[in-house]
Amino acid sequence: MKRTGDVIGLLAAAAVIGTTGWFAATADAGQRYEAGLVLGLSTALSFALLRRFTHLPLGRRRPYTFALPLPAPDWSAPPPDPAGDPEALRPHAERQAGLLSDASALGDTLRHTCTLTPQLRAELASFAVTASIQASNSVIAPIGEGPRSPDPAYDAAHALGELVAAVEFSRIGMRALEALVTERPLRPDPPCYFNPLHDRGHARVALPGAPHGTEEVASCHGCAKGPEPLLVPSECGPVPYYDSDAVDARWRLLGYGAVVPDNGATMIATARDGFRDPGPAVPSGGGGGGLKRFRTKVS
């Protein structure tokens, strides 16, 4: 079909150039200049249209090469353990969010060029943009601009929860861009529910306290053997982030994406529209179990 279209385009261009050439050759002496000008314009236009809409080797086409900005984020290096101090995590979160912000424009460019289906291209580009905005918003607010509370521990816990969200959204956005660059669909890569700063949640474990062990979450291999939760400050001492009212309910109720076994779409939808209880989980792959029934309080 491409070859047929090239032949038809070439014949049409030849007909146009031949016709204008014949008129130029038969023009009167006083009209030779105008006829030559028309012939030149028609030839140039025909050449440009053939080069744009056919696959004929007319001139050298500059190849498009895309690469993620350097330095590329080292996702294998674990983030620093904040030990309850948000300022210990802030430099890492700001660096990752900045890398995604620098690369986010690439998503819109690749949306028009890569070979994935148009719907998937648009979805991945939207993931990158939304994740970049959310990651940036999560790191720009100083600790004092969180929820107004007379308790400094409450504000510190909120700030730490936001910085963890920035790290996770940076991961989601960069993975979406990598999928566009490599032209491969985005695959699930959830965080560890117990501590999103740990290794990725490649295991599914029963949630402690769930009846009959039917509710499962993603967990790193270390926490699958024995949970080591991310602790945040509180007036009663350090508590797991998922039991703290200070951490944004959108992130703690979803475990930063570890509760729902998808590719980050739930976190993206939550960032856009706010938290919605997704209801019973649909089994994914070989993993059984449903969603955690949210037992933490919503602040």
Residues whose CB falls within 8 Å of the CB of residue 116, separated by 6 or more in sequence, listed in order: 124, 179, 180, 183, 185
Query: CA-to-CA distance for 120 and 13, rounded, in angstroms?
Result: 37
The pLDDT value given to residue 283: 31
pTM score > 0.85 for this model?
A: no
Paired strand residues for 219? 203
From the CB of residue 206, how many other CB atoms can be counted at a distance below 10 Å?
Answer: 15
Query: CA-to-CA distance for 294 and 281, rounded, in angstroms?
Result: 13
- Which residues does the chain have with pLDDT short of 70? 1-3, 5-7, 9-10, 13, 24, 27, 29-30, 32-33, 35, 47, 49-77, 108, 111-113, 141-149, 208-214, 274-299
Judge contact between 179 and 164, C-beta under 8 A: no
* DSSP letters for 68-127: PPSSPP-TTSPPP--TT-HHHHHHHHHHHHHHHHHHHHHHHHHTTTSSS-HHHHHHHHHH
- How many helices, marked H, and strands, marked E, lie in the chain? 8, 4
The pLDDT value given to residue 181: 82
**What does the pLDDT look like over 168-227, one tens digit per residue?**
999 999 888 888 888 888 888 899 999 999 988 889 998 766 655 558 899 999 999 999
Judge contact between 291 and 215, C-beta under 8 A: yes
